[in-house]
Structure 1
Amino acid sequence: MKKVNLLEDPVKKLFAGYLLPSISATMVTSIYILADTLMIGRGVGAIGIAALNILLPLFSLFFATGMLFGAGGGILLSVCKGKKDESGANQYYTVAFIMAAVMSVFYTVLGHVFFLPVTAFLGRNENMTPYVEEYGRILISGAPAFLFASFYQVFVRNDKAPKLAMTAVVSGGVLNIILDYILMFPLKMGMAGAAAATVIGTCVTLLILLTHLVSKGNTLKFVTGFHLSQAVAVVKNGFSSFLLDMCNGIVTFLFNRQILSVAGELGVMVYGIISNSAYIASSVNNGISQAVQPILATNYGAGKKDRLKEVRHLAERTACFSGVLFAATGLLFPALVTEAFVRPEKEILAMSVPAIRIYFLSFAAMGLNVLYTTWFQSVMEPGNALKICLLRGIILNSILVFILPIFMGVTGIWMVMPVTEVLTFVMCRIMLKKQSFCRT
């Protein structure tokens, strides 16, 4: 079988070869959460969805930390390979792995010790407490699996095995869905069953990814020594990916707290439906960006600027198509989106239909903003990538989620993300125009 050449193969061929596997790999979070939400909505009810939504920031934290070290080390690994520096590539892989292992232990231990205060901070109330604790304790025990599944997706893909990453995620996701049904319905394990299915599915994903390390095509090798400068470089280059994955968790946290005060538990349940749909859109957008990341980083390392522009333009067109498709779905079929998760009552539809129509408009620009984050990371401009992530993941959301409801009520909450993504897109285009090379 002919080996992939990221520096010479046609860009369209490379992008096509990485696109589906990358999207499938980044769907890992949304597959697990979506399956849990659908089953919990049918087996436990709206209160179960609200409880799960309270815990979504923890999902985001575990997977985002895997991306922090995976993308940070993976980008530097690809740049080194573009420069034919195999030793440097493996040093970054080793340093990234050590940091990921330390954080997985940290999250597991502290998560159990401080479980009640952490979940109270996230928005848990008395009605949700038994459901949050039943699901959350198992979720935290699976933190190492979540973190390393995310970590190895990036490194396996950067080591020219995107199809294995796709196989791993699809296998774990299918198993999760099957176990969700078995544990929740025939075995009647409720929220604990959904959590156990998610952890088991993730472990299977990770085990399949690890088979790459014993394959003939593997070039990932552990080396001795831990260099602080390399650790700093990994964190610096991966921090934007961390924030990118944390955006959903941060937004969910802010929205949950504000919606509880404005619309109560019904609003949190409706937002649970929306946020799960947003995970799907985010996964597709992340997949498009991750498909071009190894190509961009490797060609940047080799100084091939014309190929950089070609890759970016191809990804931009794909992200635009994806964004329009998601936005149109929300505008045309909001009731169907609701019915996919719960048996909707009149009061639920009355709130969810306009909310979905407004919120889904944000997906039109989201894909491009995610892509530009990866672009700046891959051409070693992590400062610009960080600005994008801070703008759309923290700054604008934090301001608008408190200001807009004052003038527009609960409608203002649904307007936050469309306004945020449009303003971020404008800033991204300004950054691109100011870039010293590879201008459009």
Structure 2
Amino acid sequence: MKKVNLLEDPVKKLFAGYLLPSISATMVTSIYILADTLMIGRGVGAIGIAALNILLPLFSLFFATGMLFGAGGGILLSVCKGKKDGLAANQYYTAAFIMAAGMSVTYTVFGHAFFLPITAFLGRNGNMTPYVEEYGRILISGAPAFLFASFYQVFVRNDKAPRLAMTAVVSGGVLNIILDYILMFPMQMGMKGAAAATVIGSFVTLFILLTHLVSKENTLRFVTGIRLKQAADVVKNGFSSFLLDMCNGIVTFLFNRQILSIAGELGVVVYGIISNSAYIASSVNNGISQAVQPILATNYGAGKKERLKEVRHLAEGTACLSGVLFAGMGLLFPALVTEAFVRPDKEILTMAVPAVRIYFLSFAAMGLNVLYTTWFQSVMEPANALRICLLRGIVLNSLLVFVLPLFMGVTGIWTVMPVTEVLTLAVCRIMLKKQSICRR
């Protein structure tokens, strides 16, 4: 099998080779959540979806932390390889692994110790409590698997094994779906069954990823001589990826609190349907950007500016196509999207149809915003990447989710994301025009 050369192989060939595996790998979050939502909607009902939606920020936190250290270390690893500095590349890998291990233990211990106050803060109410506790306790126990599945899919991809990352995620996802059905229906385990299926699937994904470490192609090594500055560089460069993945969790948390006060549990059910759809779109967009990340970072390290521009243009076209498809699906088939998750009554459909149509418009711009975050990371401008993530993930959402409902009621909540993504895209284009790296 011919070895991949990120510095010399045709850009279109490299992009095509990384695209499907990368999208499959980043689907890890949405596959697990989507499967659980579909099964819970059919097996437990709308209250189960509302309870799961309350816990989604924890999913985001675990996977985002894996991306914090995975993308932060993986990008630096690729840049060092582009500079032919193998020792520094593995020092970044080792530093990232140590920090990831520490956080996985922290999340598990503190998550169980403070479970009730944490879930109350996330929006749990009395009706949801038994469902939240059944699912959430098992979810927190699986934090190390979620975190390291996210962590290693980045490093394995950066170590030129994107197909293994795809295999790992697809295998874990398929097993999750099978176990969801078995544990929830024949075995009647309800929310506990859905959570157990998710954790087991994630452990399988992680196990398959770890097989790369004993393969002949593996170049990842634990080394000594790590400096504190290298650990800080990993965090600094990966923080925008952390925020990128946390955007969904932050948005879900803010929306849940507002929707509960405006539309009650019915609104949370509708938003649960929308947010799960958003996870799928976000995963595809993350996959597009992660497909180009190793190519960008390695060529940046080697100073090949023309290849950088070519890669970015390919990814921009793909992100635009993805955005149009997702937005069109919401506009044309809002009832079908709703019916995929629950057996909706008239009340749910009345709220869900316009909500899906409005919210899905945000997907048209989302892919480009995600791509530009990865672009700035890969060319070692983490400050700009961080600005994009803060703008779309915290600043605009936090402001608009409270302002727009004052004028538009519950419709204002569904309008927040389209407005946020369009404003962020405008800022991204301004930042790109000011950038000098790809000018002749």
Compute the TM-score of the two structures, normalised by the length of structure 2. 1.00
Which whole-Å CA distance do the structure 2 matches of 1:97 and 1:91 have between them? 10
* Residue 225 of structure 1: how far off its partner (Å): 3.5
Trace 1:315-394 onto structure 2 (pairs within 5 A).
Answer: 315-394=315-394
SS for the counterpart of 1:65 is helix
Alignment of 1:234 with 2:234, yes or no, is: yes
Aligned letter for 1:25?
A
Which position in structure 1 is the counterpart of 2:50? 50
Which position in structure 2 is the counterpart of 1:281? 281
Which whole-Å CA distance do the structure 1 matches of 2:156 and 2:325 have between them? 29
C-alpha distance after superposition, 1:29-62 (max 9, x if no partner): 0000000000000000000000000000000000
Which position in structure 2 is the counterpart of 1:424? 424
C-alpha distance after superposition, 1:93-133 (max 9, x if no partner): 00000000000000000000000000000000000000000
Which whole-Å CA distance do the structure 1 matches of 2:382 and 2:229 have between them? 16
Aligned letter for 2:375?
W
SS for the counterpart of 1:231 is helix
* Residue 386 of structure 1: how far off its partner (Å): 0.1
Aligned letter for 1:136?
G
Which whole-Å CA distance do the structure 2 matches of 1:437 and 1:114 have between them? 47
Trace 1:257-272 onto structure 2 (pairs within 5 A).
Answer: 257-272=257-272
Trace 1:27-426 onto structure 2 (pairs within 5 A).
Answer: 27-426=27-426
Aligned letter for 2:310?
E
C-alpha distance after superposition, 1:213-264 (max 9, x if no partner): 0000000000023311000000000000000000000000000000000000
SS for the counterpart of 1:296 is helix
* Residue 436 of structure 1: how far off its partner (Å): 1.6
Compute the TM-score of the two structures, normalised by the length of structure 1. 1.00
Contact 1:93-1:220 at 8 Å conserved across structures: yes
Which whole-Å CA distance do the structure 2 matches of 1:129 and 1:387 have between them? 37
Structure 1: runs of 5+ lacking an equivalent: none
Which position in structure 1 is the counterpart of 2:16? 16
C-alpha distance after superposition, 1:50-99 (max 9, x if no partner): 00000000000000000000000000000000000000000000000000
C-alpha distance after superposition, 1:162-206 (max 9, x if no partner): 000000000000000000000000000000000000000000000
C-alpha distance after superposition, 1:325-355 (max 9, x if no partner): 0000000000000000000100000000000
Contact 1:69-1:100 at 8 Å conserved across structures: yes
Contact 1:183-1:189 at 8 Å conserved across structures: yes
C-alpha distance after superposition, 1:408-431 (max 9, x if no partner): 000000000000000000000000
Contact 1:432-1:439 at 8 Å conserved across structures: no
Aligned letter for 2:430?
I
Which whole-Å CA distance do the structure 1 matches of 2:191 and 2:439 have between them? 51
Aligned letter for 2:126?
E
* Residue 282 of structure 1: how far off its partner (Å): 0.2
Aligned letter for 1:181?
Y
Aligned letter for 1:302?
A
Which whole-Å CA distance do the structure 2 matches of 1:128 and 1:437 have between them? 51
* Residue 277 of structure 1: how far off its partner (Å): 0.1
Which whole-Å CA distance do the structure 2 matches of 1:27 and 1:338 have between them? 20
Structure 2: runs of 5+ lacking an equivalent: none
C-alpha distance after superposition, 1:128-163 (max 9, x if no partner): 000000000000000000000000000000000000
Which whole-Å CA distance do the structure 2 matches of 1:181 and 1:224 have between them? 46
Which whole-Å CA distance do the structure 1 matches of 2:212 and 2:360 have between them? 38
SS for the counterpart of 1:327 is helix
Which whole-Å CA distance do the structure 1 matches of 2:155 and 2:225 have between them? 20
* Residue 439 of structure 1: how far off its partner (Å): 4.2
Which position in structure 1 is the counterpart of 2:438? 438
Contact 1:433-1:439 at 8 Å conserved across structures: no
Aligned letter for 2:326?
F
Which whole-Å CA distance do the structure 2 matches of 1:121 and 1:60 have between them? 16
Which whole-Å CA distance do the structure 2 matches of 1:292 and 1:6 have between them? 10
Which whole-Å CA distance do the structure 1 matches of 2:368 and 2:226 have between them? 36
SS for the counterpart of 2:289 is helix
Contact 1:27-1:280 at 8 Å conserved across structures: yes
Which whole-Å CA distance do the structure 2 matches of 1:353 and 1:30 have between them? 22
Which whole-Å CA distance do the structure 2 matches of 1:24 and 1:360 have between them? 22
Which whole-Å CA distance do the structure 2 matches of 1:227 and 1:55 have between them? 36
Which whole-Å CA distance do the structure 1 matches of 2:437 and 2:347 have between them? 54
Which whole-Å CA distance do the structure 1 matches of 2:45 and 2:360 have between them? 24
Which whole-Å CA distance do the structure 2 matches of 1:439 and 1:304 have between them? 12
Give me the CA root mean square deviation.
Answer: 0.6
Which whole-Å CA distance do the structure 2 matches of 1:206 and 1:439 have between them? 41
SS for the counterpart of 2:105 is helix
Aligned letter for 2:44?
V
Which whole-Å CA distance do the structure 1 matches of 2:150 and 2:25 have between them? 9
Aligned length: 440
